Amino acid sequence: MNTQHVLITGAGQRLGLHCAQTLLEKGHQVTITYRTEKVGVDRLRDMGARCIQADFASDDGISRCIDEIKAKANGITAIVHNASTWSSDTPEQRGSIFDNMMQVHAKAPYLINYALEEAFRDSLKSITHISDFVSQVGSTKHTAYAASKAALDNLTLSFARKWAPAIRVNSISPSMIIFNEHDDAAYRQKALAKSLVGIEPGESVVTNTLLYLLENAYVTGQIISLNGGRNLNLP
């Protein structure tokens, strides 16, 4: 693969961090955004990543981030929208949670893609949205989250059409990839039983799919499921 300059949002931990580390280890240039200073951000800095602090919860935060990327980063070839927040619907905060989910998962990618397509028209070749399996089946507990990821998948379709053939745009749509530290044994058992494969696959299945999308010139407008056959785990 030619050397890439990949922008990854929300890469201070877990999946985003793993993608960023792998790309750096393979000799690619990486710029990340992070919301909170943490060990993972330091590690990426030490490996040579450019790290930009950004909070997408407000339009101002998105706009400041775009300005900083344009001022500091050259020749971006790929964008990976990974930043995410996961909240249950609660009766007291329904409106604000819905707004926040849409802001982080749909509006931030929408505005960043438009701005960076214009700024990096000579170099930008691919955009990857990290979505979620629930965008296809909905969620009874994380309804606003699921709706915002469905909006993100729809942006994949529109941008793939709009910017072809110059920029390929795809979604990676995972179900459970890694547990959170606080997930208890009962939760883990229930989550594992939802897929046909029944494993916690780990970050590398996402990173490998990202590497495939960065490289494969014939894949665009696709929503690539990484769900261990969960859609077929029928009664």
Ligand X SMILES: NC(=O)c1ccc[n+]([C@@H]2O[C@H](COP(=O)([O-])OP(=O)(O)OC[C@H]3O[C@@H](n4cnc5c(N)ncnc54)[C@H](OP(=O)(O)O)[C@@H]3O)[C@@H](O)[C@H]2O)c1
Q: Which residues are catalytic?
A: 145
Smallest distance, ligand X to C-beta of residue 165, A: 27
User: Which one, of 148, 29, 141, 157, lies nearest residue 84 by Cα?
Assistant: 148
Count interface residues toward ligand X (CB under 6 A). 25
Measured from the CB atom, the residue of 57 and 219 that comes closer to ligand X is 57
Peptide bond into 235 cis (omega under 30): no
If binding is defined by CB under 6 A, does position 205 make contact with ligand X?
no
User: Which of the residues 126 through 145 are near ligand X (CB under 6 A)?
Assistant: 130, 132
Q: Report the half-sphere exposure of 113 (CA within 13 A, side-chain side).
A: 25
Q: What would the two tokens of residue 229 be?
A: 């056959």
What is the residue type of 202? G
Q: Which of 115, 119, 178, 205 binds ligand X (CB under 6 A)?
A: 178
Measured from the CB atom, the residue of 111 and 123 that comes closer to ligand X is 111
Lay out the site mask for ligand X across 61-80 (x = CB under 6 A, - = otherwise): --------------------
User: Which one, of 5, 231, 37, lies nearest residue 137 by Cα?
Assistant: 231
Q: Which of 52, 144, 147, 176 binds ligand X (CB under 6 A)?
A: 176
In terms of C-beta density within 10 A (0-12 exposed, 13-18 middle, 19 or more buried), how is residue 222 classed? middle
If binding is defined by CB under 6 A, does position 10 make contact with ligand X?
yes
In this structure, are residues 153 and 173 in contact, taking their beta carbons and an 8 Å threshold? yes
CA angle 97, 149, 8 (to 5 degrees): 100
Which single residue brings its beta carbon nearest to ligand X?
10
Interaction site with ligand X (CB under 6 A): 10, 12-16, 35-36, 38, 54-57, 82-85, 104, 130, 132, 174-178
